[in-house]
Chain A
Amino acid sequence: DAGVTQSPTHLIKTRGQQVTLRCSPISGHKSVSWYQQVLGQGPQFIFQYYEKEERGRGNFPDRFSARQFPNYSSELNVNALLLGDSALYLCASSFGSGTNTIYFGEGSWLTVV
């Protein structure tokens, strides 16, 4: 079975641009969470979606948005990119809405120049 898959794996954007990151959860998993990991730090929670509804939002500005599709895949959008948005963006999936067993994808490396 495939694990959590994310695309693209690496991308470079210019300040002010917009980016969309994609995630496919493990088959059968209905919850997707997004995390940002800046170099040298642990992952920081951005969003959780369960059954296409937002279940939680971290302390991130409104430039960050996400959605979950009927097939449980998800997209994370970031508008008006800043240099500080450069990070590894991780998607994690779980079967239910609880968070004590989640599985991460390999992440999307975003560099903003």
Chain B
Amino acid sequence: TQLLEQSPQFLSIQEGENLTVYCNSSSVFSSLQWYRQEPGEGPVLLVTVVTGGEVKKLKRLTFQFGDARKDSSLHITAAQTGDTGLYLCAGDVSGNTPLVFGKGTRLSVIA
């Protein structure tokens, strides 16, 4: 059983389009993080959200943590080819437990 379910698994869009990817769980997390991973490299931390309902913006990326702290979304506005990569969400249940990762959403932005 996957603790964190990410959807969609694959997404291919044209440059300039908007998109949203989702990270869902039946468990409550004390914090949730989003990473971006490029082929052959380690994941790079984009954001950490800790408060239910929290919204954080990072340039064209908007991250939201669900009110119940069980889910999160990542919205990208006007996608660029440089946004291509694997987007991973990861959560920890208590702050001192290991991070649990979803399988990721593989995004391809085509010029």
Contact = CB atoms under 8 A, between A and B. Distances in A.
Interface in A52-84: 55-56, 58
Interface residues of A, number: 27
Q: Chain B interface residue count: which class?
A: 20 to 34
Contacts of A105: 42
Name B's interface SS.
Answer: loop
Nearest to B92: A99
B46 to A, nearest CB: 12
Interface in B52-91: 88, 90
Contacts of A41: 103-104
Interface in B33-62: 33, 35, 40-45, 48, 50
A43 B41 contact: no
A7 interface: no
B92 A43 contact: no
Given A42-B88, A42-B90, A100 B103 contact: no
A45 interface: yes
A100 B50 contact: yes
A106 interface: yes
Given A42-B88, A42-B103, A43-B101, A104 B95 contact: no
A97 interface: yes
Interface of A: 4, 33, 35, 40-45, 48, 55-56, 58, 90, 92, 97-107, 109
Interface of B: 4, 30-31, 33, 35, 40-45, 48, 50, 88, 90, 92, 95-104
Q: Would you list the 10 A-B pairs with minimal beta carbon distance, nearest first?
A: A42-B101, A104-B42, A45-B98, A100-B31, A99-B92, A106-B42, A43-B101, A42-B103, A107-B42, A104-B43
